Amino acid sequence: MKVGVIGGGQLARMMIPEAIALGVELRVFAEAEGMSAENSTTVVGDYKSAEELGWFADGVDVITFDHEHVPLATLEQVERSGSSVQPSSSALQFAQNKLWMRKRLSDAGLPMPAWSEVRTSAELEKFMAENGGKVIVKTPVGGYDGKGVRVIDEPSGVDDWFAEIDKLGGSLLAEQLVDFDSEIAVLSARRASGEWRAWPAVETIQLNGVCSQVIAPAPNVDQQRALEIAERIATELSVTGVMAVEMFQTKDGQLLINELAMRPHNSGHFTIDASVTSQFEQHLRAVLDLPLGLTDMTSDVSVMVNLLGTEKGTDFLENFSDVMFRFPEAKIHTYGKSPRPGRKMGHITVVGDDLETVRSRALLAAAVISGS
């Protein structure tokens, strides 16, 4: 079995050992030399080129993704040639375009914040007046890790986006600013034949728009309701592979859908060290339509802390031995990236039976490895 991954980042990198264990040949279509998944890189090229992507697809049994930025028209052309793309372009479109996602999930009656498609400053001003005066505005495509997202209290806060609205797809997405108690993510996997499994819902903690910590399982959340929402989405959109559903939990316990990702996700990295089946193994199983593995946690709790690049320019390698000595229970994962402020350089996971102890140890280990 040969799986082709578009994108050479850390998600493709973390699929490599799982592919080896499953006897799957992993091939990677990377955007540049020296990327995280260079050990399995077969092609370095332009993933927007249907010709290059078609050639790559001809050599594998299924195409899947490290990121969601491949143009839909390119994927559709590859699919028309007979190649298996998982998730398909018909599902992936809702992860690529936030407006399409809002429209489709609204049609399905799923819970979301109030939202509106806006094309002019006047339309935005009207939405703001109806939703408390302070709202979130997003570019429908291209945003991630806080990019393409602004909180504004005046329509002028996105005047530059309106000035180039045609380049942004012709409209913006305005959303209610939710007064949430916590942010929740549900990782699940579905294969083409319909089998679906999910890990426990987790709590995610953000720092400057980037995920900083993941607590599994999420404390004080309706796990059954969270998983029901994720299953509805996976079924409604016919998603194959791993999908992340990010949600807000309001102060009264209501869950509202925020974002979707149709690939392994940062909020699921804890599964490598704390679950019977990791999200990376499960993704490979799902896109190949193989039976899915159990998603039970192997410990009571797990905390994952992202190692984010700092102004010091550290690559986190110089303090490895110190962390290994002082925190032998910590599992360290590096992504082979050059340092840059705010960049995800790796993560640390600690598991155990007491949340406060586990979280304290994970945060301390991350502080030591970053030299802070």
pLDDT in tens, 1-39: 999 999 999 999 999 999 999 999 999 999 999 999 999
Mean pLDDT of the region 77-98? 96
Residue 350: φ, ψ to 5°: -130, 140
**Max CA pair span of the chain:** 60
CB 226, CB 186: distance < 8 Å: yes
- pLDDT over threshold 60, residue 145: no
pLDDT in tens, 282-304: 999 999 999 999 999 999 999 99
What's residue 142's pLDDT? 75
Q: How distant is the alpha carbon of residue 196 from its chain centre?
A: 18
- pLDDT over threshold 70, residue 340: yes
- pLDDT over threshold 90, residue 209: no
The span from the CA of 163 to the CA of 148, in Å, is: 15
Q: Identify the bridge partners of residue 333 per DSSP, sorted by sequence position.
A: 347
| 351: Cβ contacts below 8 Å, ≥ 6 apart | 273, 274, 298, 299, 301, 302, 329, 358
Indicate the pLDDT class of residue 320, thresholds 50, 70 and 90. Answer: confident
Mention the CATH class of domain 2-85.
alpha beta
Higher pLDDT, 41 or 145: 41
Higher pLDDT, 340 or 23: 23
Given the candidates 3.40.630.10, 2.40.50.140, 3.30.470.20, 1.10.357.10, the CATH classification of the domain at 180-369 is: 3.30.470.20
The span from the CA of 242 to the CA of 280, in Å, is: 8
Reduced to 3 states (helix: H, G, I; strand: E, B; else coil), residue 289 is coil
What's residue 146's pLDDT? 59
What's residue 310's pLDDT? 79
- What's the chain's average pLDDT? 94
Give the homologous superfamily in CATH for domain 114-176.
ATP-grasp fold, A domain (3.30.1490.20)
What residue segments make up the domains of the chain, in order of their start? Answer: 2-85, 114-176, 180-369
Q: What pTM, to 2 d.p., does this model score? A: 0.95
369: closest CA among 350, 346, 351, 352?
Answer: 346
Mean pLDDT of the region 258-274? 97
